[in-house]
Amino acid sequence: MPVLQTEDDTFTLDGQPFRIISGGLHYFRIHPEHWADRLRKARLMGLNTVETYVPWNLHQPRPDTFRLDAELDLPAFLALAANEGLHVLLRPGPYICAEWDGGGLPSWLLADPDVRLRSQDPRYLHAVESYFARLLPPLLGSLATRGGPVIAVQVENEYGAYGDDTAHLAHLAHLLRSGGIDIPLFTCDQPADLARGALPGALATVNLGSRARQGLAVLRAHQPTGPLMCTEFWIGWFDRWGGRHVVRDSEDTARELDDLLAAGASVNLYMFHGGTNYGFTNGANGKHTYRPTVTSYDYDSPLDEAGDPTAKYRALRTVIARHAPVPDEPLPGPTPKLTRSGIRLTHTAPLLTQLPALGTAVIAAQPLTMEELGQDFGLVHYRTTLPAPGPVLLELEGVHDRAQIFLDGNPVGVVERENHEHALALSVSSPSSVLDVLVENQGRVNYGAGLNDRKGLTGPVRVNGTIHTGWANTPLPLTALDGLDFTPTVGPPAGPAFHRGTFRLDETADTFLYLPGWAKGTAWINGFHLGRYWSRGPQRSLYVPGPVLRRGVNELTVLELHAAPFQRTADLRTAPDLGPTEE
């Protein structure tokens, strides 16, 4: 692969002028059997480059564990990009934002109560050094200087929106250079943050979604020489629970892209293909009010969540063709989808009776956070005994993020962080009543000052004004469900429960899971964690990648956190429902 350089106001590859026309494509949001398909469709749209973040929290889930295999096989993804003739912009963090849990920062950093993230705090830097020391060596062969596809590497991510410590950025750049990264480095920031987030010796780039010419003018004023580049040209947006599905008009997007390219700028479309926040990996916004992001990361992209080209794909390809060559090949059409109605979930395992199969209780005077329990994702269960019958005012100082409360096994209320709730009135009828508190981690804040977003009960619990002590804390990461004891369902189950059923398929293909009548929870097919559902919307379906299905018998498992419908059925349908739209 040729090597990228900057000369005056242009990029060059082996001495020839070159414009980066790139699109975001996050390998960790795409089933690995779909990587090649998505990369091919990127090339056919006219892209010569793809961009990907690297999620530190998945690659290093614990300080002593590092993964670079299976769905996290980044070298394999880079090799597929090279096979397609695509260059790669690599954005390894350590912080990535991306509407991803914690902005990609691993939760175990938060086990230290006063660690300062994205700073020169030695504890944070030591963790970053460990991460880069494990990540970079396997990637060096993918650099353009070694014949690979990676032509540039980003330092941090939109740092100017968080801080202005140039010494910290310089330290991160030094770690990259000392780790063998010998290709151009760049930073990215929104126009107003360029001065705070830039780093001498690295190319500054801008992020924007509109007023492209104005944004490029701000970049040029900040950086009088060097190529103009928009690293994140926002052509869509993400959704939050309780909102609407955000879309952006294709013609408007095409006009802004035309302005960028007409100005001679390089560009990275954010996103070319969004993909899915599988499992519990979605992030959240935390400014003033906590707002969790939905499972789908469709992002109103040129390729939709299932990888099918949209009207925006064709509109942007037309614009690109005015400024650069595009392949003279047939455009891809939609892939086949399968349908199956009335899948019955016939067996049940109530969650509160299955706790020993899901986690080991830790006894402590005060409730422990997920991070103190060594837990990344999922739920945490707290159990204690109330001292006496009578009226009780239960005050929960910190609920992160949604607590379901049970008295002697019966649901008595919900306390939600999003609604700024902290208290619940109870009536205790017997001595030694058992209080259960089930707290869902709905996604760690991924942007701004709230990154130190610890989960579970993050403060003391008061009973009638007195701090209550004596808690059994059980982590429920839900990474393995093999030990659950399912029995045939008899009557409508109340409270949180796992529900399981099977269905047969003669062929496999992509599809979308619908759970009509179900309230809130998460779903798995054949052990693959599809993500969260919530009747609150806007999202009403879950994308099921075809490779997780199999011919013959398939197994669907649903954890419903409230009460399952009387008819416990699910459907597989050919199209998604991402909710009513908002432009």
Of 396, 463, 398, nearest in space to 423 by CA: 396
Beta strands in 468-566 (DSSP E): 471-476, 487-488, 497-505, 511-514, 520-525, 528-534, 542-544, 552-560
Single-letter amino acid, residue 6: T
Structure tokens at 147: 């014949």
Is 473 in contact with 382 (CB distance < 8 Å)?
Answer: yes
Bridge partners of 234, per DSSP, are 270
H, E, C per residue of 54-114: CCHHHHCCECCECCCCHHHCHHHHHHHHHHCCCEEEEECCCCCCCCEHHHHCCHHHHHCCC
Helix (H) or strand (E) holding 222: helix 212-222
Give Cβ neighbours of residue 309 (< 8 Å, ≥ 6 apart): 41, 45, 302, 303, 331, 332, 333, 334
* β-sheet with 528-534: strand ranges across: 487-488, 347-350, 497-505, 552-560, 520-525, 528-534
Of 30, 31, 10, nearest in space to 20 by CA: 10
Of 397, 401, 438, nearest in space to 419 by CA: 401
Which residue's structure tokens are 């209550």?
468
Query: Which DSSP letter does residue 282 get?
Result: B
Is 253 in contact with 316 (CB distance < 8 Å)?
Answer: yes
User: 268 phi and psi, to 5 degrees?
Assistant: -125, 120
Helix (H) or strand (E) holding 570: strand 569-573
Give Cβ neighbours of residue 254 (< 8 Å, ≥ 6 apart): 315, 316, 318, 319
What does the alpha-carbon distance between residue 205 and residue 220 come to, in Å, rounded to a whole number? 10
Q: Is 232 a catalytic residue?
A: yes
Distance of CA 132 to the CA centre of its chain: 21
Given the residues 158, 256, 372, 440, the one annotated as active site = 158
Helix (H) or strand (E) holding 127: helix 122-135
Strand 4-7 vs strand 10-13: parallel, antiparallel, or unpaired?
antiparallel
Is 165 in contact with 120 (CB distance < 8 Å)?
Answer: yes
Given the residues 84, 99, 156, 232, the one annotated as active site = 232
Is 37 in contact with 45 (CB distance < 8 Å)?
Answer: no
Which residue's structure tokens are 């004004």?
465
User: Which residues are identified as catalytic?
Assistant: 158, 232
